[in-house]
């Protein structure tokens, strides 16, 4: 089945630690995205990538980093510089001029 996988589903981290969230797609989509979702705030764009080895900052990129070494993969690192990292993180992908497809999400909790 084609789709987007995110792992892990739940992630716990101590303050001051970096953590990497995985996102993989087998839809052959060019573009991939990372969003952060907080209660009552909808989705906010962190980073997006149009092609391999290229990515752009979204609206809330501070404290996050990404890489796009393969078309299928777009991992997100939440660094210790992110002041309030506890949130639900969603990865998405799309073909040009088409809708975005979303993964099941990763819930990150900082202890």
Nearer to other proteins, 61 or 79 (CB): 61
Distance CA 96, CA 41 (A): 27
User: Rule CB under 8 A: is residue 30 a binding residue for other proteins?
Assistant: yes
Distance CA 99, CA 96 (A): 8
Closest residue by Cα to residue 26 from 51, 53, 1, 50: 1
User: Rule CB under 8 A: is residue 61 a binding residue for other proteins?
Assistant: no
User: What is the DSSP secondary structure assignment for residue 104, as one 8-state letter?
Assistant: -
**Interacting positions 69-108 with other proteins (CB under 8 A):** 88, 90, 92, 94-105, 107
Q: Which residues bind other proteins (CB under 8 A)?
A: 4, 30-31, 33, 40-45, 48-51, 56, 88, 90, 92, 94-105, 107
């Amino acid at each position: 089945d084609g789709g987007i996988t995110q792992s892990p589903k739940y992630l716990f981290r101590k303050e001051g630690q970096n953590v990497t969230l995985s996102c993989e797609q087998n839809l052959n989509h060019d573009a991939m995205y990372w969003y952060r979702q907080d209660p009552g705030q909808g989705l906010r764009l962190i980073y997006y990538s149009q092609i391999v080895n290229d990515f752009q900052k979204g609206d809330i990129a501070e404290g996050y980093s990404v890489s796009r070494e393969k078309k299928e993969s777009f991992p997100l690192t939440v660094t210790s510089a992110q002041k309030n990292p506890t949130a639900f993180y969603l990865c998405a992908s799309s073909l040009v001029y088409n809708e975005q497809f979303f993964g099941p999400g990763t819930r990150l909790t900082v202890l």
